């Protein structure tokens, strides 16, 4: 069986896991956890990677990452070598610490980031234990084995974790959203929700069908090396979200207030939302912030209505495709 293609592009989200070689422990005591997080924080800073959730068990770990620079492979290589070296020196051992390469699933953030974060936070409960359900839950929300405590109470936060990205899907980083996230995670605990990772088996992508097919089409021809990946990555570097908005307003003959005023549901704003999502690869909460503080759910609904209309209205589809082509041409001319 061929190994799933490593897909890398700016602002991609991943679920990453590593397991100890022969399922042996990679953490033997608190000092090992401390060293792990020290080196993790350093690697995050060096490679400008955002960590949004983690879970650590004695013989494996899970990370939920966003890579603004599209550099997951470089980040994981540096981090895993750093921790393996520290672990081997401490315990006077040699050889591999992990069982093969790390495993990574690309995530369709707007549809599955919440579920994957919940899966990670509930992962320690998959281990067999004698505690009853209520005791398990109390241990989970008060343990540093996951990043969950920082999502529930600000006093439990760790500086190297970005909590805002996930909480944006619940309304922002505030008490109401933290309570909503707690309810969301507890619901998964009480009802034993299916693992979202099942969606990624075979192709390594956790996403809706259109997301999976879109990624496959873009990357299927880029199998030779990371250096050849891909047109999408280069385009995202050329067009920042703010630059795209400026170019769109220029082409459409609009002012920023025409698309950033709350309460408006214009065709032009919906087209711009779709272009930001497709070209710049930013999430729907980020799009909402750029366009005047629109709620994530409103962005999602506007995009869905626009995509439905484009299927039914050829002229609207042509308008969208022409604007996309013009924006791409403008960006490449100015580079």
Token pair for 132: 């009853």
The pLDDT assigned to 57 comes to 94
Compute the distance between CA of residue 33 and CA of residue 147 in angstroms, rounded to an integer.
13
Q: Please give the full DSSP string across 94-158, using - where no structure is assigned.
A: -S-SBSSS-EEEEE-HHHHHHHHHHHHHHGGGGS--S--HHHHHHHHHT-TTBSHHHHH-GGG--
Contact 282, 110 (CB under 8 A): no
Q: Does the domain made of 239-334 have the CATH classification 3.40.50.12160?
A: no
All residue ranges of the chain with pLDDT < 70 are 1-5, 127-131, 220-238, 262-265, 331-335
Helix H or strand E segment including 65? strand 60-67
Pairing of strands 50-57, 103-107: unpaired
The pLDDT assigned to 263 comes to 59
Q: Exposed, middle or buried by CB within 10 Å (0-12, 13-18, 19+), for 39?
A: buried
Token pair for 61: 């770990």
Token pair for 317: 């589809």
The pLDDT assigned to 238 comes to 64
Q: What are the domain boundaries of the chain?
A: 12-214, 239-334
Compute the distance between CA of residue 34 and CA of residue 31 in angstroms, rounded to an integer.
5
Alpha carbon 129 to chain centroid distance? 31
Q: Does the domain made of 12-214 have the CATH classification 3.90.470.20?
A: no
What 3 state SS string does 246-311 have? HHHHHHHCCCHHHHHCCCCCCHHHHHHHHHHHHHCCCCHHHHHHHCCCCCHHHHHHHHHHHHHHHH
Compute the distance between CA of residue 63 and CA of residue 47 in angstroms, rounded to an integer.
15
Strand partners, 105: 15
The pLDDT assigned to 64 comes to 98
Strand partners, 20: 98
The pLDDT assigned to 76 comes to 96
Strand partners, 51: 65, 161
The pLDDT assigned to 225 comes to 43
The pLDDT assigned to 27 comes to 97
Contact 138, 130 (CB under 8 A): no
């Amino acid at each position: 069986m061929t190994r799933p293609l490593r897909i890398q592009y700016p602002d991609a989200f991943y679920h990453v896991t590593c397991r100890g070689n022969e399922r042996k422990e990679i953490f033997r005591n608190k000092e090992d956890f401390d060293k792990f997080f020290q080196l993790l924080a350093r690697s995050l800073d060096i490679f400008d990677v955002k960590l949004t959730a983690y879970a650590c068990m004695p013989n494996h770990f899970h990370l939920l990452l966003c890579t603004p620079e599209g550099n997951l492979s470089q980040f994981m290589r540096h981090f895993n070598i750093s921790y393996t070296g520290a672990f081997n020196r401490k315990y006077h051992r040699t050889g591999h610490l992990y069982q093969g390469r790390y495993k990574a699933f690309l995530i369709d953030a707007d549809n599955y980031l919440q579920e994957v974060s919940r899966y990670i936070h509930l992962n320690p409960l998959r281990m067999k234990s004698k505690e009853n359900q209520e005791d398990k839950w109390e241990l989970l929300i008060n343990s540093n084995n996951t990043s969950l405590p920082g999502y529930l109470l600000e006093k439990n936060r760790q500086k190297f974790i970005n909590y805002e990205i996930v909480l944006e899907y619940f309304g922002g980083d505030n008490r109401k959203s933290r309570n909503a996230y707690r309810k969301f995670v507890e619901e998964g605990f009480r009802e034993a929700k299916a693992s979202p990772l099942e969606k990624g088996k075979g192709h390594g992508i956790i996403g809706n069908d259109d997301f999976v097919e879109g990624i496959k089409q873009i990357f299927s021809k880029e199998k030779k090396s990371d250096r050849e990946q891909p047109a999408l990555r280069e385009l995202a570097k050329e067009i920042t979200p703010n630059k795209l908005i400026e170019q769109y307003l220029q082409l459409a003959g609009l002012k920023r207030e025409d698309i950033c005023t709350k309460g408006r549901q214009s065709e032009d704003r919906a087209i711009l939302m779709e272009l930001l999502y497709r070209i710049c690869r930013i999430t729907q909460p980020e799009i909402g912030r750029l366009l005047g503080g629109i709620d994530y759910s409103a962005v999602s609904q506007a995009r869905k209505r626009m995509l439905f209309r484009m299927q039914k209205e050829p002229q609207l589809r042509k308008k969208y495709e022409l604007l996309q082509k013009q924006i791409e041409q403008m960006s490449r001319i100015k580079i």
